[in-house]
Every structure is written in C-alpha cells, then in structure tokens.
Amino acid sequence: MRATCLKRSVTSTLSLDIIRWIAIILGSVTGSGAGHKSMSASSNAITIADIARAAGVSVSTVSRILNNKPDVAEGTRQRVQAIIAELGFTPHAQAQRLAAGRSRTIALLFPDAQLSLMREEFILGAAKAASDASYTFYLMTSDLTRHQLMALCRSALADGIILMEIHLRDWRVSYLKRIGFPFVMIGRCANNKGINFIDMDFERGIAQATEHLASLGHRKIALLTFPDDAHERGYGPAVRSRDSYMRTCKQLGLPTIVAPANDTRSQLAEATDALLNRHPDLTAMISMHGDTTIAVYRALERRDRRIPADVSVIAFITRRAAELFTPPLTAIDFPAYDFGYQAGRMLIAQLQGSGGVEHVLPPPQLVLRESVAPPCASRRNGSACPVGNHERRDAYR
C-alpha cells in the first residue's frame, strides 16, 4: 500500500513537470499584465506584476528585490517593499527559487521503476536525504530522450540529478559531464573519473555466492540473470555479474549455466522451468532478480523440488524482502535504502560545495538464512533427500 501511494505521489513524466512549473513561473513571475489582471479578478491573488504597476517599476526589478539582489537603488527597494507590505503580497517560494536560478530540488531518474520492495527502498532513501536537507524531491520513471534530458537541465526545475540504471558507456553521464550539470550515480560506468557514485560490488558478490555454494559441494550452479540484450547494451549489473560468474566458475572448475530472463514473475518462472528441463540435476541457483525471485520458489514448488533439500537458492535482495520468503532467502544483502540515502546526501553536498568526489563500493555481505544447504547425495541412489536446514539463520559470512 505504501509503495502504491508513493508512486502516485511522486511519479511524473518530464512533460507534466515542465508544464506545471512553467505555469507557476508564468503565473507568479513573468506573466503579462493582461494575464495577471484576469487572475486577480478571478482569485484576488496579488502578483508581482501588480506590485510592479503600483510601484512604477518593471517586473524584473520586483523580482530582484524579492530575491535580495544588491543592484537595486535603495529608494526603489524601500518603495517596492512598502507596496508589498500594503497589498499583503506573499511570493510563491518555489517560483522565487526558480527565478533566482535555483530550485532546492533534486530529481531521481529511475527508468522503468516498477513496484517492488527494492525499488521502493531506493526511492524512499533518496527522498529522506532530500527531506533532511530541506530539499524538494521528485521521481521520474520515463526513459528520457536526449532532448528531454536537455530540457530538464535547462529548465532549472532541479538543481541536480540522481541517475540510476547505469550502463558502462552511458550517454546521459557523458552529456551531464559535458555541460557541468550536478549529478551522482547509483551504479557506475567503465570510466568514473570525477563522478560521484555508490554501487553494489556485483563482481565480488557473485564470487562470494558461487564460492560458498561450491564449498558446500554444489557442482551445478546456475545464474539467473538479466536478458541477453541488457548484457549486450552494456548494462552495468548485467555485465559485471555475468562476467564474474563465468570467471569464478572457471577458477573453481565448474560448468557455466546461464539463464537470462526479464524481471517479471511470469518470465522468470518460465526461465526457471526451462533451466530445470535442460539441467534436471541442477542443485543450486543464484538469482539477480531481487523480489521477483519468488517466481523461482513457485516454479520449484510446482515441480516438487524443495528448497534447500533439492535446490539451494541465493539472490541479490534487500534484507526486508529476503526475510519474507519461505524458507527465508540466503542473500547478498542489497541495502537499497542506504544506497538511495547516500546518493542523495552526496548530491546535496555537491550542490552546497561541501563534498568532494566519492566512489562508494561497499563490500558485499552474504547473509546465510535457510534457502541453502549441501547438495543431497541420497538423490543419486534413488532415496528421498532429508528435509532440514544446514545453515544458521542470519549468520554473516
């Protein structure tokens, strides 16, 4: 319920945001005299155009006085301020900030942010960082074109941007660097010189998960990963996780079993079924699909494959989500809320001139719960695998 309410309140398209704020600007700062007469007549609202006419000065002069600009004659300033007090004018705070060239607003660009516990935590973390610093926050879930990103940067609607879904060679990063627009990344490119980022260490996380399963005796370990086209486009998590899996399996002398799938329950369930059809003797899986890994559980259940007696499962997922699984899911802990908060903090520090370049790559933590056990040797002689948990819940490796 909270996630649904959140999305309704903060999700918007670029065009709607621009239309809304342009309406504020035109209505409170730069509108024509005729337009403001009409507004005053209908709503009794006092605008700076009304103040300008009463004081015999330009709208831009009133705007400069409201924003405490020094290059206004003291007599003019006092006259305008007296009229403001007499008419009871209260400027729109956001319009004032926009007129001054700052909005005290940060935007999170999160393309295709479908509802999930992990996505919700990224958003809530970034929003909390903005709130703590008295910044406005908004979320954009459309996949922006170059023209739309250019329009956003030129509009002064946001002072800075948090970018997500980062590719190794990301045109958005190149553009924002070139124009000098403040931003940070949740994720990282191939070259991150001079760029603030926080990211999951997917390479080490995959290696930890694979090595742990191998240490328990698993020899056929599959990677449920992102679609092939995500890997080909250079999507960071897709490239880093698959490459690390291939490298770790080679080092351990294990076969590589890669199962690409889209991040939807139906398609992940289909991929799990196809995987088990090809490899009926599979004993372990590592999932890159976070909350959607519940589809793996359901697919195994339909085939009477028990977790962990028949198949062990590890996923990259938040602690809150992992503990909702039955049995609780062993995981590479993904602290999405902290990532969102730290990205917001880094961006605001950059905007305030108090932060240097930060590259934050926390060491991954493998949290052992009840979805992983040694492979069942009994299955090879036809007897039933014993049901039992072989790992201590919430232990850290």
The pLDDT of residue 84 is: 83
| Residue 110: CB atoms within 10 Å | 23
Give the per-residue pLDDT at 199. Answer: 98
Does position 289 have pLDDT exceeding 90, yes or no?
A: yes
Q: What is the mean pLDDT of residues 315-326?
A: 95
Ranked by mean pLDDT, the top range of 75-79, 91-95, 151-155, 359-363 is 359-363
pLDDT mean across residues, the chain: 82
pLDDT at 73 over 80: yes
- Please give the pLDDT value at position 97: 53
The DSSP code for 195 is -
Q: Which residue has the tokens 């941007």?
A: 161
Looking at this protein, which amino acid is placed at residue 219? R
Residue 392 class from Cβ within 10 Å (0-12 exposed, 13-18 middle, 19+ buried)? exposed
Residue 112 has what DSSP assignment?
T
Tens digits of per-residue pLDDT, 102-131?
678 999 999 875 667 888 999 999 999 999
**pLDDT tens-place string over residues 233-284:** 999 999 999 999 999 999 999 999 999 998 889 999 999 999 999 999 999 9
Q: What is the DSSP letter of 307?
A: T
Facing residues of 185 across strands? 163, 197
Residue 266 backbone zone (phi > 0: left; psi -120 to 50: alpha; other: beta): alpha
| Average pLDDT value for residue range 21-36 | 33
Question: 105-200+338-360: which CATH number, 1.20.120.160, 3.40.50.720, 3.40.50.2300, 3.40.140.80?
Answer: 3.40.50.2300
How confident is the model at residue 384, as a pLDDT?
47
Judged against a pLDDT cut of 60, whether residue 28 lies above it is answered with no
Q: What confidence tier does 101 reach under pLDDT thresholds 50, 70, 90?
A: low
Q: Is the preceding omega at residue 308 within 30 degrees of 0, hence cis?
A: yes
Q: Closest by alpha carbon to 314, among 222, 220, 236?
A: 222
Rounded to 5°, angle at Cα 301 from 255 and 383: 70
CB 287 within 8 A of CB 313: yes
Q: Does the pLDDT value for residue 357 go beyond 50? A: yes
Per-domain boundaries in the chain? 14-99, 105-200+338-360, 202-333+366-396
d(CA 10, CA 330): 32
Does residue 140 contact residue 14 with C-beta atoms inside 8 Å?
yes
User: Does 136 score more than 60 pLDDT?
Assistant: yes
For the chain, what percent of residues have pLDDT higher than 90?
58
- Are 119 and 108 contacting, i.e. CB atoms less than 8 angstroms apart? no
Strands (DSSP E) found in 50-135: 105-109
Q: What's the rounded Cα separation, in Å, for the pair 32 and 26? A: 8
- Averaged pLDDT, 9-16: 37
Q: Are strands 366-368 and 330-333 parallel, antiparallel or unpaired?
A: antiparallel
pLDDT in tens, 36-51: 333 333 334 677 788 8
pLDDT at 379: 46
Spatial separation of the C-alpha atoms in residues 312 and 271, rounded to whole Å: 17
Lowest mean pLDDT among 19-23, 143-147, 278-282, 340-344: 19-23
- Report the pLDDT value the prediction gives residue 67, as an integer from 0 to 100: 72
Q: How far apart are CA 384 and CA 29, in angstroms?
A: 76
Domains 14-99 and 105-200+338-360 share a fold: no
**Contact by Cβ (8 Å): 333, 303:** no
**Domain 14-99 bears CATH identifier 3.40.50.2300:** no
pLDDT in tens, 153-197: 888 789 999 999 999 999 999 999 999 999 999 999 999 999 999
User: For residue 113, what pLDDT is reported?
Assistant: 57
CA separation for the pair 205, 203 (Å, rounded)? 6
The CATH number that domain 202-333+366-396 falls under is 3.40.50.2300
**388 contacts: CB under 8 Å, gap ≥ 6:** 309, 373
Confidence of residue 355 (pLDDT cuts 50, 70, 90): confident
Host H or E run for residue 75 = helix 74-87
Identify which has the larger pLDDT, 84 or 228. Answer: 228
Q: What is the value of pTM for the model shown?
A: 0.73
CA separation for the pair 63, 44 (Å, rounded): 20
